[in-house]
């Protein structure tokens, strides 16, 4: 019998980490090969499916950081007590850690864009010797929107971290301003050996790439990940197509040299 890719399988919710009122990480049971930047279709029968990036990879778990912004995700929040979610995947190409080893690595993430790159941050934070240098710039709307607070504490010990918020109430101690504000001062030693990973909302990605290129970083040293509507994850439903590229099959991770030519 041929494999039916549309049928989700139940996965046990091992742990729930509450970041904000609307963003939780669900640590799910999963054994199998999976890379940062890949995604799963998470479903609640009756409400549908939503594509969710893998935000952490354990020996027999994956983390799915879910933001309560849609019909399906609202229901996932309501129903997490059920101990199981239905999932299928992983889909997409994901980030290849090998591309970043021995490089000056700069990861710039906006909001939930941190989820797909979190696996890479985790990796180089726990193997700091494997990259020449690692920097994370993570931007959030406000202090209340900051994700992965506990992880940040860990990362700050091992890698350079800039955690900034667009705006904050008076008296906020942390850094403020858009992620782009911090790019001119990044300690890039050799632009040819520096790699940038940029993931976030479309406008943030656009202006971040512009700033990064001002630092003399060649296109092929920039990596991006696109968020598009992915109904099937299997190259069939068509919603995620940009030009001749199916984001769910060929992406969501692209080298900027290729990714910059993709037009919606």
Partner 1 sequence: MGYQLPRKTADTLFCRLREHYEIFAPKLFAGDGCFSDTDVIRYDKVSSLDEIEFDRRSDYSFKEALFAVNETLFYFTENETTIPSCTDKKLLIFLKSCDLHALKRLDAIYLENGPEDFYYKRLREKACFVLMDCGETCDTGFCAGMGTNRSDNYDLYLKCGEETVWIDCPSEELLSDLKEAGLNEAGETACAVTPNYVTQNKETVTLPKNLSVESFDNPLWEAYGSRCIGCGRCNFVCPTCTCFTMQDIHYRDNENVGERRRVWASCQVDGYTDIAGGGSFRQKQSDRLRFKVMHKIYDFEKRFGYPMCVGCGRCDAVCPEYISYANLVNQLAEEDAK
Binding site for partner 1 (CB under 8 A): 2-8, 10, 43, 45-50, 67, 69-70, 72-73, 201-202, 227-229, 231-232, 234-239, 241, 243-244, 246, 248-249, 261, 263-264
Pairwise CA distance, residues 20 & 144, whole Å: 7
Q: Among residues 132 and 231, whose Cβ is nearest to partner 1?
A: 231
Count of other CB atoms within 10 angstroms of residue 91: 21
* Encoded tokens for 230: 């992915």
Which of helix, strand or coil describes residue 75?
A: helix
CB of 232 vs partner 1, minimal distance in Å = 7
Q: Among residues 214 and 229, whose Cβ is nearest to partner 1?
A: 229
CB of 219 vs partner 1, minimal distance in Å = 15
The residue with tokens 């968020």 is: 227
Pairwise CA distance, residues 189 & 177, whole Å: 24
Sign, Cα dihedral of 156, 94, 65, 126:
negative
Question: 93, 250 in Cβ contact below 8 A?
Answer: yes
Q: Among residues 19 and 103, whose Cβ is nearest to partner 1?
A: 19
CB of 259 vs partner 1, minimal distance in Å = 13
Q: Among residues 70 and 218, whose Cβ is nearest to partner 1?
A: 70
Q: For 186-220, what is the HEC assignment? A: CCCCCHHHEEEEEECCHHHHHHHHHHHHHCCCCHH
Q: Among residues 216 and 238, whose Cβ is nearest to partner 1?
A: 238
CB of 248 vs partner 1, minimal distance in Å = 8
Pairwise CA distance, residues 224 & 205, whole Å: 8
Pairwise CA distance, residues 4 & 49, whole Å: 16
Q: Among residues 209 and 232, whose Cβ is nearest to partner 1?
A: 232
CB of 202 vs partner 1, minimal distance in Å = 7
CB of 161 vs partner 1, minimal distance in Å = 25
Half-sphere exposure of 142 toward its Cβ, with a 13 Å CA cutoff?
5
Pairwise CA distance, residues 244 & 256, whole Å: 16
Dmax (CA) of the chain: 63
Q: Among residues 2 and 170, whose Cβ is nearest to partner 1?
A: 2
CB of 5 vs partner 1, minimal distance in Å = 5
């Amino acid at each position: 019998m041929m494999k039916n890719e549309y049928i989700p399988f139940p996965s046990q919710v091992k742990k729930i980490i509450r970041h904000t009122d609307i963003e939780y990480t669900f640590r799910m049971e999963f054994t199998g090969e999976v890379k940062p930047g890949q995604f799963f279709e998470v479903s609640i029968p009756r409400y549908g499916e939503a594509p969710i990036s893998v935000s952490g990879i354990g020996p027999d778990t994956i983390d799915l950081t879910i933001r309560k912004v849609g019909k399906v995700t609202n229901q996932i929040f309501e129903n997490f007590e059920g101990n199981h979610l239905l999932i299928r995947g992983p889909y997409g190409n994901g980030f290849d850690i090998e591309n970043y080893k021995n490089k000056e690595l700069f990861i710039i993430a906006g909001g939930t864009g941190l989820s797909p790159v979190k696996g890479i941050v985790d990796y180089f934070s726990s193997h700091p010797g494997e990259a020449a240098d690692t920097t994370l710039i993570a931007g959030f709307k406000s202090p209340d929107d900051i994700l992965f607070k506990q992880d940040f504490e860990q990362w700050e010990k091992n890698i350079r971290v800039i955690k900034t918020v667009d705006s904050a109430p008076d008296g906020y101690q942390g850094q403020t301003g858009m992620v782009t504000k911090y790019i001119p001062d990044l300690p890039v030693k050799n632009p040819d050996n520096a790699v940038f990973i940029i993931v976030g909302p479309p406008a943030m990605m656009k202006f971040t790439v512009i700033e990064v290129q001002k630092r003399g970083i060649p296109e092929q040293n920039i990596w991006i990940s696109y968020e598009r509507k992915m109904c099937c994850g299997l190259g069939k439903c068509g919603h995620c197509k940009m030009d001749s590229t199916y984001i769910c099959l060929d992406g969501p991770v692209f080298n900027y040299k290729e990714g910059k030519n993709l037009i919606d």
